[in-house]
Protein backbone atom coordinates (compact mmCIF):
# COMPACT_ATOMS: atom_id res chain seq x y z
CA UNK A 1 0.00 0.00 0.00
CA UNK A 2 1.52 3.31 -1.08
CA UNK A 3 1.17 6.88 0.06
CA UNK A 4 -1.58 7.57 -2.48
CA UNK A 5 -3.66 4.67 -1.19
CA UNK A 6 -3.38 6.16 2.31
CA UNK A 7 -4.75 9.58 1.34
CA UNK A 8 -7.34 8.54 -1.26
CA UNK A 9 -10.47 8.84 0.86
CA UNK A 10 -13.05 9.54 -1.87
CA UNK A 11 -14.43 7.89 -4.96
CA UNK A 12 -15.67 9.77 -8.03
CA UNK A 13 -17.57 8.62 -11.09
CA UNK A 14 -15.80 9.45 -14.36
CA UNK A 15 -17.74 10.19 -17.55
CA UNK A 16 -15.27 10.05 -20.48
CA UNK A 17 -16.16 12.48 -23.25
CA UNK A 18 -16.40 10.84 -26.67
CA UNK A 19 -17.01 13.93 -28.83
CA UNK A 20 -19.87 16.11 -30.03
CA UNK A 21 -23.08 15.20 -31.82
CA UNK A 22 -24.10 16.92 -35.06
CA UNK A 23 -26.00 19.43 -32.92
CA UNK A 24 -23.01 20.17 -30.69
CA UNK A 25 -24.19 18.13 -27.72
CA UNK A 26 -21.31 16.41 -25.87
CA UNK A 27 -21.33 12.62 -25.90
CA UNK A 28 -20.02 10.51 -23.04
CA UNK A 29 -18.87 6.91 -22.87
CA UNK A 30 -19.56 4.35 -20.18
CA UNK A 31 -18.91 5.72 -16.69
CA UNK A 32 -16.54 4.14 -14.17
CA UNK A 33 -15.40 4.87 -10.62
CA UNK A 34 -11.90 5.73 -9.41
CA UNK A 35 -10.47 6.39 -5.93
CA UNK A 36 -8.99 9.83 -5.31
CA UNK A 37 -8.31 12.69 -2.93
CA UNK A 38 -10.57 15.72 -3.46
CA UNK A 39 -10.60 19.30 -2.13
CA UNK A 40 -13.34 21.79 -2.93
CA UNK A 41 -12.77 25.54 -3.10
CA UNK A 42 -12.31 28.19 -5.76
CA UNK A 43 -8.78 28.56 -7.13
CA UNK A 44 -7.44 30.49 -10.11
CA UNK A 45 -5.37 28.29 -12.43
CA UNK A 46 -3.95 28.62 -15.94
CA UNK A 47 -5.22 26.13 -18.52
CA UNK A 48 -3.24 24.74 -21.48
CA UNK A 49 -4.40 27.68 -23.66
CA UNK A 50 -2.85 30.20 -21.26
CA UNK A 51 -6.23 31.39 -19.97
CA UNK A 52 -6.80 32.06 -16.27
CA UNK A 53 -9.87 30.09 -15.15
CA UNK A 54 -11.66 29.53 -11.86
CA UNK A 55 -11.49 25.90 -10.77
CA UNK A 56 -13.92 24.80 -8.08
CA UNK A 57 -12.52 21.33 -7.34
CA UNK A 58 -9.02 19.87 -7.04
CA UNK A 59 -8.25 16.18 -7.12
CA UNK A 60 -5.28 13.81 -6.95
CA UNK A 61 -5.57 10.62 -9.00
CA UNK A 62 -3.38 7.69 -9.97
CA UNK A 63 -1.81 8.09 -13.41
CA UNK A 64 -3.90 5.24 -14.84
CA UNK A 65 -7.27 6.86 -13.94
CA UNK A 66 -8.02 7.64 -17.58
CA UNK A 67 -9.19 11.23 -16.99
CA UNK A 68 -8.45 13.67 -19.82
CA UNK A 69 -9.31 17.32 -20.49
CA UNK A 70 -13.11 17.80 -20.88
CA UNK A 71 -13.96 14.48 -19.26
CA UNK A 72 -16.48 14.93 -16.47
CA UNK A 73 -16.64 13.55 -12.95
CA UNK A 74 -19.43 13.35 -10.43
CA UNK A 75 -18.58 14.18 -6.84
CA UNK A 76 -21.15 14.76 -4.06
CA UNK A 77 -23.97 14.56 -6.65
CA UNK A 78 -22.48 17.40 -8.76
CA UNK A 79 -20.78 17.21 -12.17
CA UNK A 80 -17.41 18.85 -12.87
CA UNK A 81 -15.35 19.14 -16.07
CA UNK A 82 -11.59 18.44 -16.10
CA UNK A 83 -9.91 21.73 -17.07
CA UNK A 84 -6.24 21.44 -16.08
CA UNK A 85 -4.20 18.24 -15.66
CA UNK A 86 -0.65 18.19 -14.27
CA UNK A 87 1.42 15.01 -13.95
CA UNK A 88 3.31 15.16 -10.66
CA UNK A 89 6.06 13.07 -9.13
CA UNK A 90 8.33 13.54 -6.13
CA UNK A 91 11.48 11.53 -5.54
CA UNK A 92 10.71 8.26 -3.75
CA UNK A 93 6.95 8.71 -4.25
CA UNK A 94 4.40 7.27 -6.61
CA UNK A 95 3.65 9.55 -9.62
CA UNK A 96 0.11 10.89 -9.78
CA UNK A 97 -2.08 13.43 -11.57
CA UNK A 98 -3.22 16.70 -10.05
CA UNK A 99 -6.43 17.77 -11.78
CA UNK A 100 -8.41 21.00 -11.46
CA UNK A 101 -12.11 20.86 -12.35
CA UNK A 102 -14.63 23.52 -13.25
CA UNK A 103 -18.22 23.28 -12.06
CA UNK A 104 -20.78 22.40 -14.71
CA UNK A 105 -24.28 23.85 -14.93
CA UNK A 106 -26.86 21.28 -13.89
Number of structural domains (the chain) is 1
pLDDT at residue 7 in the model: 87
If pLDDT is split at 50, 70 and 90, which confidence band does 91 have? confident
- Sign of the torsion angle spanned by Cα atoms 106, 12, 70, 100: positive
Query: At 66, which CATH number?
Result: 2.40.10.370
Structural domain that includes position 20: 3-103
Q: What is the pLDDT averaged over residues 40-58?
A: 93
Indicate left, alpha or beta for 9 from its phi (over 0: left) and psi (-120 to 50: alpha).
alpha
Amino acid sequence: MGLLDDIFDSTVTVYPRTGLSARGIPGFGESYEVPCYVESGIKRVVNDKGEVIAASLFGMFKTDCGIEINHEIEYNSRRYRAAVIHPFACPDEEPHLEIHFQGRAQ
